[in-house]
Amino acid sequence: MLATLARWFGIRTRRTFRLAVRGMSIFIAACGVFAVNLLMELHKFWWAAVPSAVLVIVAIVEFVLADYLAERSYPIATEQKLDLLERQLGKDAVAILARKLDRTIQSFQACDKSKISGTIHIVVELLPLPELKTRRGLLQLTDYVGPYGGSKGRITTLEKGIVGRCARTGKMESVNFDDVPEYRRRMVEEFGFTREEAEMHTRVAKSYLAEPLRLSGAIIGVLYFFSTEAQVFPFASSQSHLESQAQDFVDVLKTVSIV
């Protein structure tokens, strides 16, 4: 719920989340201090305890809870990637990657290109769990290019989805669904999602493609495309063409110091 609320307010990174909480805390604290002073002047000492309590709560939220929530939602390693993208590289790098994604989509053949959406995911470290000391996930690096899909910053674990499967196997992966019931069933049975998670995704898509991004033999990310047209992938592009496109993306990511 918190994540949904944050997204609703346009908060997608640790930095914006912390800034938002800090700004809200300062505003509430200022109001609280004013109220305490006012009530003290009026000799309503017991009533002054109410805004004083609010001040204590705000202090706990700002100095304890906000850091905990930020750490939980936006792990440092992931945040560093987003910071690099957003702070150091700015919009130019995002625009370069988006243009490149669009050119890749336009290079697909024998299909309706206007129905294809695409993005890039990169492998990031996630906070360890008690039973899992090292944990990796996939961070959506750019907004989707194309008619469907969400915005950057989304994180999925390697156990989920065709993107996770691609990052695990290191091979090009594709999947086609005939209809929504088949999508719902296979997302749960084959792709590691719960029914609720499957419902949150774009269900009109029918054909999916994921191509690994490699650097020195290691999988560093995944190129991801989907189409609302049936049976587009994997045949809309040759394997050699896809691999060459993936290498171009790796070169761009290297140049802008994302990997």
Query: Encoding tokens for residue 19?
Result: 């800034």
Using the CB atoms, write b or e for 121-143: b if 16+ within 10 Å: bbbbebeeeeeeeebbbbbbbbb
What one-letter code names the amino acid at 133?
Answer: K
Listed in sequence order, the residues at least 6 apart from 118 whose beta carbon sits closer than 8 Å to its beta carbon are: 101, 104, 105, 144, 145, 146, 223, 224, 225, 226
Minimum Å gap between C-beta 188 and another protein is 13
How does DSSP classify residue 129?
Answer: B
Question: Is residue 185 within the footprint of another protein (CB under 8 A)?
Answer: yes
**Binder to another protein among 2, 49, 59, 204 (CB under 8 A)?**
204
The distance of closest approach from Cβ of residue 241 to another protein in the complex, given in angstroms and rounded to an integer, is 13
CA angle 185, 190, 196 (to 5 degrees): 50
Neighbours of 224 (CB within 10 A): 24
When asked if residue 228 is in the footprint of another protein (CB under 8 A), the reply is: yes
- Can residue 73 be called a binding residue for another protein (CB under 8 A)? no
φ, ψ of residue 221 to 5 degrees: the values are 180, -175
Query: Is residue 105 a contact point for another protein (CB under 8 A)?
Result: no
In angstroms, the CA 250 to CA 222 distance is 10
User: Which residue, 167, 154, 161, 162, is CA-closest to 213?
Assistant: 167
Tell me: does residue 195 bind another protein (CB under 8 A): no
Number of residues that bind another protein (CB under 8 A): 21
Question: Nearest approach, Cβ of 238 to another protein (angstroms)?
Answer: 10
* x/- letters, 20..59, toward another protein (CB under 8 A): ----------------------------------------
Q: Which residue matches tokens 């209809």?
A: 179
Contacts to another protein from residues 118-157, by CB under 8 A: none
Instruction: Figure out which of the listed residues 78, 142, 156, 176 binds another protein, where binding follows CB under 8 A.
Output: 176
- What burial class does residue 158 get, using C-beta atoms within 10 Å of its C-beta: 0-12 exposed, 13-18 middle, 19+ buried? buried
Which one, 182 or 251, has the nearer CB to another protein? 182
Asked if 231 touches another protein (CB under 8 A), the answer is yes
171 belongs to the binding site for another protein (CB under 8 A): no
- Write down the least CB distance from residue 147 to another protein, Å: 10
By CB under 8 A, residue 240 contacts another protein = no
Q: Confirm or reject binding of residue 181 to another protein (CB under 8 A).
A: yes
The label of the residue with tokens 């017991």 reads 46
**Choice from 6, 111, 116, 139 touching another protein (CB under 8 A):** 111
Of the candidate residues 34, 44, 90, 179, the single one contacting another protein (CB under 8 A): 179
Residues lying near another protein in the complex (CB under 8 A): 109-112, 176, 178-182, 185, 204, 206-207, 228-232, 235-236
